[in-house]
Amino acid sequence: MATPVDADADADADADADADARRRVMLTAPIARAKKAEARARTRRDASSPTLAARTGRDNQRYNAVNQRLVAGCICVRTKTDVGLEDSADASALARARADGVEVLMLNSKKGARVDGRDLIFPKGGWELDETVAEAAARESMEEGGVAGTLSALEKTYEFVSRSRVKAGCAGDEAKCVAHVFMMEVNHEYDVWPEKGERTRYWLSPEEAWRRCKHDWMRHALADVLADGFASETKL
């Protein structure tokens, strides 16, 4: 039979054990909460969008020796997939693309369509001083179209007259831009991307992409790239 002294000692030991347990919980709970929060944030980042915001302004733009603005972009393609038709803004065009076995990413032009219904472009934008031309092409594809993938090892170049440069008073060669165009084999499509609120993705057959392409120089690039392709070796 336990004496009062023994009972008091047992009670004190239980109290000390409870206090130790509470201290351990108080010390480890914030760490556990922080780890869970970090895991949730990482999951959201991986599943939803890249962290890079779209670059704006032209203070960091590249120009060549005759003051032509340099731009870079990608003709983004994916092989026939089993994704739902809701993945593209134009379901009938996507259905035709799937039958052809390849789909080309085209985007709406923020400046509107031409009078003959040619309304789409592929991702492209300014090549900046702190990046290679391949990095610029990949960045523009992510910012405008929300895609990433493997770039061709080579690019082709195209000159075109820039209306904005003409409006700025440039003439002759200075009114032109030089576009460096890669092919990208898309392996990731983001649910959210920097210009999602301004751009709509259209996955089209090569023929439909060419037919709806807004600019003549882009049509030329589409015809070149889709006719002979490039060796895809540059991973970004």
Helix or strand holding residue 184 (H, E): strand 176-189
* pLDDT recorded at residue 81: 60
> What does pTM read for this prediction?
0.69
- Whether the Cβ atoms of residue 179 and residue 75 lie closer than 8 Å to each other: no
Q: What phi, psi does 143 have (nearest 5°)?
A: -65, -45
The mean pLDDT of 45-52, rounded to a whole number, is 50
Are 100 and 9 in the same domain? Answer: no
Structural domain total, the chain: 2
75 in any annotated domain:
yes
Same domain, 42 and 84: no
Q: 51 exposed, middle or buried (CB, 10 Å; 0-12, 13-18, 19+)?
A: exposed
Q: Is the pLDDT higher at 92 or at 152?
A: 152
Q: Residues 215, 128: one domain?
A: yes
Q: Whole-angstrom Cα distance, residue 85 to residue 73? A: 26
3-state helix/strand/coil string of 26-72: HHHHHHHHHHHHHHHHHHHHHHHCCCCCCCCCCCCECECCCCCEEEE
d(Cα 229, Cα 223) in Å, to the nearest integer? 10
Report d(CA 118, CA 1) in Å as an integer.
97
Residues 177 and 141 in one domain: yes
What's the pLDDT score for residue 56?
Answer: 65
Structure confidence at residue 18 (pLDDT): 63
pLDDT attached to residue 227: 75
Domain extent, residue 183, equals 69-235
pLDDT for position 236: 41
Percent of the chain with pLDDT over 90: 53
The per-residue pLDDT for 43 is 38
- The two beta strands, 120-121 and 176-189, are unpaired
List pLDDT tens digits, range 116-141: 779 999 999 999 999 999 999 999 99
**Residue 163 β-bridge partners:** none
- 82 vs 1, higher pLDDT: 1
Are residue 116 and residue 217 in the same domain, yes or no?
Answer: yes
- Asked if 126 and 86 touch (Cβ cutoff 8 Å), the reply is no
Q: Which residue has the tokens 């023994």?
A: 6
pLDDT in tens, 210-224: 999 999 999 999 999
Q: Is 164 in a helix, a strand, or coil? A: helix
Q: What is the pLDDT of residue 39?
A: 46
Average pLDDT, the chain: 79
Q: What is the identity of the amino acid at 26?
A: M
Asked if residue 144 and residue 30 are part of one domain, the reply reads: no
Task: Give the integer Cα–Cα distance in Å for 193 and 172.
Answer: 36
**pLDDT at residue 31 greater than cutoff 60:** no
The average pLDDT across 21-45 equals: 48
